[in-house]
Amino acid sequence: MKIYQINNYKDFKKFEYLYKRKNINNYEVFQSYEFLFNYMNFFKKKNYIVTIYIDNEDFVILPLYEFKYLFFSFVGFIGSPNLSEINDIIHNIQNRIKLFEVLKKVFNYLKKNKLKNFFFNNIKKGYFFEFLNSQNFELISSLDMNLCNIQKRIFLNDLIEKKENKKINFKIRKFYRHSSKKIHRPYSIFKQNEDINILIKDFIFKNKKMNYFYKNKFLENLEFIFYLQKNSKLLIFDLLNIGDEIGSIILGFKFKNKFFYSIPAYNKDYRKYSLGNYHLREFIYYNKNNFNYIIFGPGNESYKKKFNIINEKNFSFTNSKTLKLVNFLKNFKSD
């Protein structure tokens, strides 16, 4: 048995072989080798604490790093708190009791290395969720994760409620009554192009509301997404044009049989025509044979409720006294 602590992408590459072992749990795109390797390569200066346990054929990977949240430093999953929407460990240990014993050893190892303040956000239900629930970690929040099973929505009229579908069609007909421009999808999953990246970046910042602090973090993540699009097959960009200008953008991650709907943006000049809903409907229908599920992520935006949503929950845990106090005060205030 041995525990390794990895702090750079070159050392992480040496453990790529673990992902090829049998009986690995159903981890998500944010824990995939492609995502983690490219993230560590792009953000070289971050403090990575990727912890790997190996005992013969058994292994566990905790893809951790240090990040700032509420002006404090925490250890959590790579991509937290703004990019990775579903988090889990990677392992091939099928026995729950044995896995818990291994995780106890890993956390004791981390504590010996003076890593004590953990914040695990967006944890999916599973063995790691159960482990945190059984230890000295406090559940501080839960969020609905919105999913759509598109394989059960083969035809457009079944994709969303007929009433909502009629509204979308009505607004598109209204657009054509007032404009001679053509609505069309010029491409999806295109090759890397710096001019297009600049165009997309400008479009997103022009049409999405965000404060100064979030804008800087969003820009950092967007640059990484462009890098990931160039160096992996995880990204999908889909555009809807109005004539020669961008009307709507869908940007997200494709992994296994799922699409993670990450960054949507639509042209504010055409807001009254609901181009975002129209684009999303066409995108899902166009990709009905490419993936089974679309993951909208947390939030209660109205469009997420229209597309035959299945609600699952993600959870956030911490052992930090500071975060526990913040959570207590927030709940006290809401009462």
State both tokens at 303. Answer: 């469009």
Residue whose pair of structure tokens reads 């890397």 in the numeric block: 192
> pLDDT tens, position by position, for the chain (335 residues)?
899 999 999 999 999 999 999 999 999 999 999 999 999 999 999 999 999 999 999 999 999 999 888 778 899 999 988 888 899 999 999 999 999 999 999 999 999 998 889 999 999 999 999 999 999 899 988 888 888 877 665 554 556 667 777 888 899 999 999 888 998 877 655 555 666 777 788 888 787 776 655 667 788 888 898 888 888 889 888 888 898 888 899 989 999 989 998 888 888 888 898 888 889 888 888 888 888 888 887 777 777 777 766 778 899 999 988 777 766 545 544 44
pLDDT at residue 333, rounded to an integer: 46
Contact 137, 120 (CB under 8 A): yes
pLDDT value at residue 332: 41
The per-residue pLDDT for 287 is: 84
- The pLDDT of residue 82: 81
Q: In this structure, what token pair is assigned to residue 182?
A: 């053509």
Token output for 304: 């997420």
Instruction: Please tell me the distance from the alpha carbon of residue 91 to that of residue 81, in angstroms, as a whole number.
Output: 22
Report pLDDT for 236. 87
Tell me the three-class secondary structure of 184-217, residue by residue.
ECCCECCCCCHHHHHHHHHHHHHHCCCCHHHHHH
